[in-house]
Structure 1
């Protein structure tokens, strides 16, 4: 992922995107049978985004990947915005169904872990604004599974939606930090520990930055750095934060049952 710029995908034609997502057939066209399918185009775009980033996904680049002309690609997708919708729904299809018989807490944990893994397989998902994505079958199934995990535990409908939004937001934020850190290691050629070995002596030589002036941050920062061998550990933060969110939900549900 070359950067953290956000790609807008809500300015396309929602009607056409939804038709493509749900397999609503367009009127048949005269002429030779198409060489490709819409699924071929989407898979090529996903492969391109995985290899580079979302900015690499243009009609021209996808056409090159498929060995066709850019104009011919419009036979399958109206434009880039609709293609992004199709890509998002496509990778949402990779998310597994939580195992049967799990309690709500275990089910939400499994869902969050699967989303964490999905962001690491497809980092470009973090570059796409999804609030106006045209929902397809895989995205609907994702939301349904998330809601089913907390169905009947004592939350109202709006609260159920808020719970899955909070959990997804935590996953998204910590996955972004994880991928940003990995990218920084690759671009700099140094791990966090190696970088700190260079920075620490310089900082230590500045009297105003010593532990007597910042005792709490010095103590906590040292403990965290030793525990993680890095300035931060997004995977730890993700799982620690998720557990605390679930603790809060459990406390709310328990309080209502008293």
Structure 2
């Protein structure tokens, strides 16, 4: 901390994701903002993985001390929450009148954001309270289904299915550029010598058709088709 700096008053219960009205503070302007600290953590996570992110490392990169940063961010849980929400960013509004294409675009957007920050998948799958950016994604996804004969909880489940599928693909892609092909190649010797034990599996891996290499699109289309069938059954009922 620089000499003469007046840090924010310590407040472990302060909600960093949903701050109240700004408080006018006396003295010099604080050296850092919560966003700057979270963005420093994001740069480290992008380069070296989530495990490399510590308050000590962030303080070093910002030219500060760990204890000084605790005046802005009370702990790691709060830091993770802000990093996750900022990794989502604000979604693009969907203007497609076809809800199927709008939902597909929503899922592709989630995939793109998570792929840009693969560590966010781990944070998103931990129990957490959504921040403003994440709730904005909810709003866009729910808007696409506004006219469907589904209950609110069902619509939320649809978004959970789409997001979960998109993030599972990110997990695979962040580990390998072509996960399905690499798995098949690594299993080739076993498939050759043990084909009689696993005939259906060998046949499936040997079939060049289907959605191989495009699992994101295939899964999204199947989820959307299921939603369409459910909505149609409600209309008919």
| TM, length-normalised to structure 2 | 0.82
Task: Using the TM superposition, give the Cα deviation of residue 65 of structure 1 relative to its aligned residue in structure 2, in angstroms.
Answer: 1.2
Q: 1:129 and 1:142, CA in 2 relative to 1: closer, same or farther beyond 3 A? A: closer
Task: Using the TM superposition, give the Cα deviation of residue 107 of structure 1 relative to its aligned residue in structure 2, in angstroms.
Answer: 0.9
The corresponding residue for 1:251 is: 229
The corresponding residue for 1:217 is: 201
Aligned length: 224
C-alpha distance after superposition, 1:119-168 (max 9, x if no partner) = 11000012225453233221221111111111121111111111111111
Provide the C-alpha distance between the structure 2 equivalents of 1:55 and 1:245, rounded to a whole number of angstroms: 33
The corresponding residue for 1:156 is: 151
Q: Is the 8 A contact 2:169 2:216 kept in 1?
A: yes
5+ residue gaps, structure 2, are: 1-11
Tell whether 2:220 aligns with 1:242.
Answer: yes
5+ residue gaps, structure 1, are: 1-12, 185-190
| Of 112, 126, 138, the match for 1:143 | 138
Give RMSD over aligned pairs: 2.7
Q: 1:202 and 1:255, CA in 2 relative to 1: closer, same or farther beyond 3 A? A: closer
C-alpha distance after superposition, 1:207-249 (max 9, x if no partner) = xx13x4433222221124x888xxx63xx12211110111111
The corresponding residue for 2:182 is: 192
Q: Is the 8 A contact 2:90 2:136 kept in 1?
A: no
The corresponding residue for 1:113 is: 108
| TM, length-normalised to structure 1 | 0.76
Provide the C-alpha distance between the structure 1 equivalents of 2:203 and 2:29, rounded to a whole number of angstroms: 69
Provide the C-alpha distance between the structure 1 equivalents of 2:191 and 2:131, rounded to a whole number of angstroms: 52
Tell whether 2:114 aligns with 1:124.
Answer: no
Task: Using the TM superposition, give the Cα deviation of residue 95 of structure 1 relative to its aligned residue in structure 2, in angstroms.
Answer: 3.1
The corresponding residue for 1:168 is: 163
The corresponding residue for 1:16 is: 14
Task: Using the TM superposition, give the Cα deviation of residue 76 of structure 1 relative to its aligned residue in structure 2, in angstroms.
Answer: 1.3
- Higher RCO by CA contacts (8 Å cutoff, separation 6 or greater): 1
